[in-house]
Amino acid sequence: MRVTILPPWWRSKWFYALCVVAVLLLGLVVDRLRAQQLRERSRELEGMVRERTVELEKRRLELEERTQELEASREQLRIQAIQDGLTGLLNHVAILRAFAAEMERARRESRTLVLAMVDLDNFKGVNDVYGHLAGDEALRFFAKAVNAAIRTYDHAGRYGGEEFLLVLGEVPAADAQRRLSLLHALTSNIEVAVGEAKFIITCSIGAVVYNPTQGIESMESLLTTADQALYFAKESGRNRVVVRQAHRLETRQENFPKD
C-alpha cells in the first residue's frame, strides 16, 4: 500500500500561481494609481503654470500701462518745457535754442538763415476794446496761421506777449523777400471771431538774412538787427515787411495797406 503525502496548500503550485497573479494585479493597480497620481500632479502643475502665466501677463500689462503712462507724462513734461501754453508754439527759451541750433547748422553747411521778428499791430487796442479773452483767442488764431504758413523744418515761437520769432532755414538770400512777403500775406489780415465780436488782426515783420560766408554774427546781433527792422516797419505804418541783410546797411521795405 502506497501513501502519498501532499504538501500544504500554501506550498502548492496553484497557490504559487495565484500569488504570481496577485502580485501582477497589485503591480498593475499600483502602476495605475501612480499614473493617476502623476496625471493629477501634472494637472495641478499645469494649473499652477496657467495661473502663474496669467499673473505674469497681468503684471506685464500693468507694467506696460505704467510705462506708457510714464512715457506720456515725460512727453507731456517735455512739451510743457518747450511749448507756449497759450499758442502751442515754442516758448521763449525753446525758440532761442532752435535759433542757436539753426545758426550752427547754417555755419556748418554754409547756408543762409532768415530770422524774422513778428509783432501783432495795435494789439493793446484789441485787449482794451474786446477784452483779454478775445486777445488770447487772437493770439491762437495767429499761431494757427503761422503753423500753416511755415515749412515743417522751420521754427516758430512766442518771443513774448504778442511778439513772435520765426527761424527759417535754407532760404536763399535772393528769395528771402519773396518768402517773407508770402508769409506775411498768410499771417496778416486775419479775421478773428470771438462770440459776437469780430475783428481783423494784422502784423508787422522785421527780418534779417544771415549769410555765414560773409562773416561771423552772434545771436544777439541778429536779434538786434531783426528788432530794429521790426521797429522800422511799425514806425513806417505797420502791416508791412522790412528785411535787412546782416553785415550790410541796406534796407528793403515792402508796403501794405495800413490798418
Grid coordinates in use for 93? 527759451
For residue 75, the tally of other CB atoms under 10 A from its CB is 10
Provide mean pLDDT across the span 134-161: 95
Query: What are the residue boundaries of the structural domains of the chain, listed by start?
Result: 7-82, 92-254
pLDDT reading at 253 higher than 60: no
Do 115 and 210 meet the contact criterion of CB atoms below 8 Å apart?
Answer: yes
Q: What region does 170 belong to: left with phi over 0, alpha with psi -120 to 50, or beta?
A: left
Provide the pLDDT for residue 7: 72
Which is catalytic among the residues 137, 162, 163, 217?
Answer: 162
For residue 92, the tally of other CB atoms under 10 A from its CB is 14
Number of residues that make up the chain: 259
pLDDT tens digits, 76-85: 777 778 899 9
Residue for cell digits 485787449?
127
Note if 250 is an active site residue.
Answer: no
Among 5-19, 43-57, 91-105, 173-187, which stretch is predicted with the lowest mean pLDDT? Answer: 5-19
Q: Kindly state the greatest CA–CA separation across the chain.
A: 159
Among 51-60, 175-184, 240-249, which stretch is predicted with the lowest mean pLDDT? Answer: 240-249
- The class level of CATH for 92-254 reads alpha beta
Grid coordinates in use for 206? 522785421
Q: What is the sign, positive or negative, of the torsion defined by CA atoms of 58, 62, 63, 64?
A: positive
Closest CA to 120 of 190, 222, 224, 195: 190
Q: Which of the pair, 245 or 140, is modelled with greater confidence?
A: 140
Tell me the β-bridge partners of 160.
Answer: 163
| SS3 of residue 194 by DSSP | strand
User: Full-prediction pTM beyond 0.75?
Assistant: no
pLDDT reading at 249 higher than 50: no
Provide mean pLDDT across the span 32-37: 89
Measured distance CA(27)–CA(10) in Å, rounded:
21
Amino acid at 112: T
Residue spans of alpha helices (H) in 114-201: 123-130, 132-149, 176-187
Q: What is the sign, positive or negative, of the torsion defined by CA atoms of 95, 138, 191, 121?
A: negative
Indicate the helix (H) or strand (E) that contains 18: helix 13-82
From residue 43, alpha-carbon distances to 40, 46, 52, 246 in Å are 5, 5, 14, 82
